Amino acid sequence: MEAASKRKEELRRGLERTRASIAELSQAAGREQPQLLPVTKFHPAEDIALLGELGITDVAENREQEARAKAAQLPEIGFHMIGQVQTKKANHVARWARSVHSLDSSKLAQALDRGVALACERGEREGGLNVFIQVSADADTARGGVPVAGVGDLVAEVEKLEHLSLQGLMVVPPLGGDASEVFEQTRALTDEMTEGLGRKLLLSAGMSADMGAAIAAGTDIVRVGTGIMGPRPVV
């Protein structure tokens, strides 16, 4: 019990520091504060339950099997997939994910659409799946993402799918790249797609290390792990 109380206090302080930093950075940039999505990969379900006690309703995960197990233990928490999704895992993801931030191909979009339909038919979920298209800023699709030139076509395809709801774009700056430039370009691309669709799309960008640049560019969602959770547990 004492260990749980200590851990809860650590998480509370991490949340407070992160929220204060977001507020300060947003004010300095003259931007609205983005939504905070805690990243809980590698941390146990017990930590996520403590976050729930602290008012957190949604968290993000990178690995399907790990996320699936945590989602089964904590049905009151919304789990969002931000890591790459293999097409063969689409049916699994469709059962537990509240959203997918890493949609990067027509093949995956169709697989997720079929998976959601099947999950709904089996009573394993209610309603469609929110998705974000992951943009590859350097066209290196090995790291996930669709090249900028292909974003418009994938947007159009997702809009036709019955069980997927396009929420916006997601980007992770390439290693060694200019994060500010990547975020600004993806913000502009998000706004371009917003204008084309006639409804607002969101930008999911920025993590612990580059949150300031993302907020300055106008991100709508920041995904923060270490700043809240602390170092990864030693296995």
pLDDT in tens, 148-168: 999 999 999 999 999 999 999
CA nearest to 37, candidates 232, 234, 229: 229
Question: Which helix (H) or strand (E) is 94 found in, with range?
Answer: helix 90-96
| Average pLDDT of the residues in 105-115 | 98
User: What's the average model confidence in pLDDT over 98-111?
Assistant: 97
158 in Cβ contact with 197 (< 8 Å): no
Tell me: pLDDT of 93 over 80: yes
Rounded to a whole number, what is the distance in angstroms from the first to the last CA of the chain? 22
CATH 3.30.70.3000 fits 2-229, yes or no: no
Average pLDDT, the chain: 95
Position 140 scores a pLDDT of 76
**Is pLDDT above 70 for 235?**
no
Show me where the domains of the chain are located.
Answer: 2-229
DSSP classification of residue 173:
P
The pTM of the full predicted model, rounded to 2 decimals, is 0.95
Say if residue 130's pLDDT is above 60.
yes
Q: Which amino acid is at 41?
A: K
With tokens 């991490």, the residue in question is 14
For 194-207, the pLDDT digits (tens) are 999 999 999 999 99
**2 Cβ contact list (under 8 Å, min separation 6):** none
- Where residue 234 falls among pLDDT bands split at 50, 70, 90? low
Q: Is 44 helix (H, G, I), strand (E, B) or coil?
A: coil
Say what the pLDDT of residue 127 is.
94
So what's the pLDDT on residue 1?
66
Task: Kindly tell me if the per-residue pLDDT of 129 is higher than 60.
Answer: yes
Is residue 216 very low, low, confident or very high in pLDDT (cuts 50, 70, 90)? very high
Q: What percent of the chain has pLDDT over 90?
A: 91
| Residues near 123 by beta carbon (within 8 Å), at least 6 away in sequence | none
